[in-house]
């Protein structure tokens, strides 16, 4: 199972970016998918998550500015980031709980994509 993230980059404060993460490989189903981020010198933190049923959860710091969604047939999760702030600067990682045949659900991570918010 591989998670391929894309969409990061440099944006000015107040700008927007959209991250995408597609899962590929051999698996039965995907459960909760999410986005985490890690800024220099800080621990990795949950940004947003979405269950297979569409329920969402957000970090307080991004509520009202970020929106997570998924396209289940495409095994893809998105993170729409609006009103970006310098403190949103971090490497963003996608994450998914995946059910592979004959194994319990396992957590997989994408390679990370850099988001830099700066003027």
Please provide the average confidence, as pLDDT, over all residues in the chain: 95
Question: What would the pLDDT profile of 38-76 be if each residue is shown by its tens digit?
Answer: 999 999 999 999 999 999 999 999 999 999 999 999 999
Confidence check: pLDDT of 101 > 90: no
Beta bridge partners, 46, equal 36
**Mean pLDDT confidence for 2-30:** 95
- pLDDT category of residue 7 using cuts at 50, 70 and 90: very high
State how far the Cα of 35 lies from the Cα of 29, in Å rounded to an integer: 18
- Cα–Cα distance list, 53 to 10, 31, 42, 70, 72 (Å): 32, 9, 31, 10, 10
């Amino acid at each position: 199972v591989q998670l391929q993230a894309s969409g990061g980059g440099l944006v000015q404060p107040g700008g927007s970016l959209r991250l995408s993460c597609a899962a590929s490989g051999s698996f039965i189903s995907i459960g909760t998918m999410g986005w985490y981020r890690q800024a220099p010198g800080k621990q990795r933190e949950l940004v947003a998550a979405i269950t297979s049923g569409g329920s969402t959860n957000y970090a307080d710091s991004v509520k009202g500015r970020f929106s997570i969604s998924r396209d289940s047939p495409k095994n893809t999760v998105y993170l729409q980031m609006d009103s970006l702030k310098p403190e949103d600067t971090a490497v963003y990682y996608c994450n998914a709980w995946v059910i592979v045949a004959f194994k319990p659900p396992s957590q997989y991570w994408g390679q990370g994509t850099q988001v830099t918010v700066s003027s």
